[in-house]
Amino acid sequence: MSFKWKEDNHRAFEDLKEKLSFTPTLKFPNFTLLFEVHINANDFTISKVFKQDGHPIAFESKKLYGAQLRWLTHEKELYIIMCYVKTWQHYLGTHKTKVFTNNVFFKYFETQPKASMK
Protein backbone atom coordinates (compact mmCIF):
# COMPACT_ATOMS: atom_id res chain seq x y z
CA MET A 1 0.00 0.00 0.00
CA SER A 2 1.43 3.36 -0.97
CA PHE A 3 0.90 6.66 0.77
CA LYS A 4 -0.03 9.69 -1.32
CA TRP A 5 0.95 13.08 0.05
CA LYS A 6 -1.98 15.39 -0.64
CA GLU A 7 -2.41 19.13 -0.24
CA ASP A 8 -4.34 18.63 3.06
CA ASN A 9 -1.43 16.59 4.43
CA HIS A 10 1.04 19.29 3.44
CA ARG A 11 -1.02 22.07 5.08
CA ALA A 12 -1.40 20.03 8.28
CA PHE A 13 2.35 19.34 8.32
CA GLU A 14 3.22 23.02 7.80
CA ASP A 15 0.75 24.06 10.51
CA LEU A 16 2.23 21.55 12.95
CA LYS A 17 5.77 22.61 12.06
CA GLU A 18 4.90 26.27 12.73
CA LYS A 19 3.25 25.52 16.08
CA LEU A 20 6.23 23.44 17.23
CA SER A 21 8.75 26.04 16.09
CA PHE A 22 7.47 28.96 18.16
CA THR A 23 6.91 29.07 21.89
CA PRO A 24 3.61 30.46 23.14
CA THR A 25 3.90 33.94 24.54
CA LEU A 26 2.56 34.63 27.99
CA LYS A 27 0.37 37.68 28.19
CA PHE A 28 -0.41 40.10 30.97
CA PRO A 29 -3.74 39.58 32.74
CA ASN A 30 -6.70 41.82 31.99
CA PHE A 31 -8.64 42.24 35.23
CA THR A 32 -11.86 43.01 33.36
CA LEU A 33 -12.00 39.52 31.81
CA LEU A 34 -12.77 36.12 33.32
CA PHE A 35 -9.79 34.04 34.48
CA GLU A 36 -9.55 30.36 33.53
CA VAL A 37 -7.52 27.62 35.19
CA HIS A 38 -7.02 24.35 33.33
CA ILE A 39 -5.90 21.56 35.65
CA ASN A 40 -4.68 18.05 35.02
CA ALA A 41 -3.41 15.23 37.21
CA ASN A 42 -1.82 11.96 36.20
CA ASP A 43 0.05 9.24 38.06
CA PHE A 44 3.23 11.24 38.73
CA THR A 45 2.58 14.94 38.10
CA ILE A 46 0.03 17.70 38.41
CA SER A 47 -0.19 20.78 36.23
CA LYS A 48 -2.19 23.96 35.93
CA VAL A 49 -2.40 26.62 33.25
CA PHE A 50 -3.72 30.08 34.11
CA LYS A 51 -5.41 31.49 31.00
CA GLN A 52 -7.45 34.39 29.83
CA ASP A 53 -9.23 34.68 26.51
CA GLY A 54 -7.47 31.52 25.30
CA HIS A 55 -3.94 32.82 25.99
CA PRO A 56 -1.70 31.55 28.82
CA ILE A 57 -0.81 33.97 31.59
CA ALA A 58 1.17 31.53 33.73
CA PHE A 59 1.63 27.81 34.15
CA GLU A 60 3.08 25.40 36.66
CA SER A 61 3.85 21.71 36.84
CA LYS A 62 4.81 19.75 39.92
CA LYS A 63 6.08 16.23 40.50
CA LEU A 64 4.26 14.17 43.13
CA TYR A 65 6.16 12.33 45.87
CA GLY A 66 5.51 9.66 48.51
CA ALA A 67 1.92 9.37 49.68
CA GLN A 68 0.76 11.87 47.03
CA LEU A 69 1.38 9.18 44.41
CA ARG A 70 -1.35 7.05 46.02
CA TRP A 71 -4.00 9.79 46.04
CA LEU A 72 -7.06 9.34 43.88
CA THR A 73 -7.22 11.51 40.77
CA HIS A 74 -9.90 13.82 42.16
CA GLU A 75 -7.82 14.32 45.33
CA LYS A 76 -4.84 15.30 43.19
CA GLU A 77 -6.99 17.74 41.23
CA LEU A 78 -8.39 19.30 44.40
CA TYR A 79 -4.78 19.68 45.54
CA ILE A 80 -4.03 21.50 42.27
CA ILE A 81 -6.87 23.95 42.98
CA MET A 82 -5.48 24.55 46.47
CA CYS A 83 -2.02 25.18 44.97
CA TYR A 84 -3.59 27.54 42.42
CA VAL A 85 -5.21 29.64 45.14
CA LYS A 86 -1.95 29.76 47.09
CA THR A 87 0.34 30.50 44.12
CA TRP A 88 -1.80 32.98 42.20
CA GLN A 89 -3.79 34.54 45.05
CA HIS A 90 -2.63 38.02 44.00
CA TYR A 91 -4.66 37.58 40.78
CA LEU A 92 -7.80 36.35 42.52
CA GLY A 93 -9.13 39.20 44.65
CA THR A 94 -12.76 39.62 43.65
CA HIS A 95 -12.24 38.33 40.11
CA LYS A 96 -14.24 35.38 38.82
CA THR A 97 -12.30 32.28 37.89
CA LYS A 98 -13.51 29.22 36.00
CA VAL A 99 -11.75 25.91 36.65
CA PHE A 100 -11.60 23.33 33.85
CA THR A 101 -10.86 19.67 34.47
CA ASN A 102 -11.37 16.41 32.62
CA ASN A 103 -12.34 14.53 35.78
CA VAL A 104 -16.03 13.56 35.92
CA PHE A 105 -15.91 13.37 39.76
CA PHE A 106 -16.44 17.12 40.06
CA LYS A 107 -19.79 16.85 38.30
CA TYR A 108 -21.05 14.94 41.36
CA PHE A 109 -18.86 16.58 44.01
CA GLU A 110 -21.65 18.22 45.99
CA THR A 111 -23.70 15.02 46.15
CA GLN A 112 -20.95 12.87 47.70
CA PRO A 113 -22.15 11.41 51.01
CA LYS A 114 -18.66 11.03 52.46
CA ALA A 115 -15.59 13.09 51.78
CA SER A 116 -12.07 12.36 52.95
CA MET A 117 -10.18 14.85 55.09
CA LYS A 118 -7.87 15.54 52.14
The answer to whether position 62 is within a domain reads yes
Instruction: Find the domain containing 102 and state its range.
Output: 27-111
Q: What is the model's pLDDT at position 104?
A: 62
Q: What is the model's pLDDT at position 88?
A: 81
Q: Specify the number of domains making up the chain.
A: 1
Q: What is the model's pLDDT at position 57?
A: 87
Contacts (Cβ under 8 Å, ≥6 apart) of 35:
29, 50, 51, 52, 57, 91, 92, 95, 96, 97, 98
The answer to whether position 35 is within a domain reads yes
- CATH assignment of the domain containing 48: 3.10.20.370
The answer to whether position 17 is within a domain reads no
Q: What is the DSSP string of the chain?
A: ------HHHHHHHHHHHHHHHSPPPP----TTS-EEEEEEE-SSEEEEEEEETTEEEEEEEEE--GGGGGS-HHHHHHHHHHHHHHHTHHHHTT--EEEE-S-GGGGGGGG-S-----
**This prediction's pTM:** 0.67
- The pLDDT profile of the chain, 118 residues, written as one tens digit per residue, is 677 888 888 999 998 888 777 776 788 888 888 888 888 888 888 888 889 888 888 888 889 999 888 888 778 888 888 888 888 888 777 778 888 887 666 555 566 666 666 6
The answer to whether position 84 is within a domain reads yes
The answer to whether position 60 is within a domain reads yes
Q: What is the model's pLDDT at position 109?
A: 59
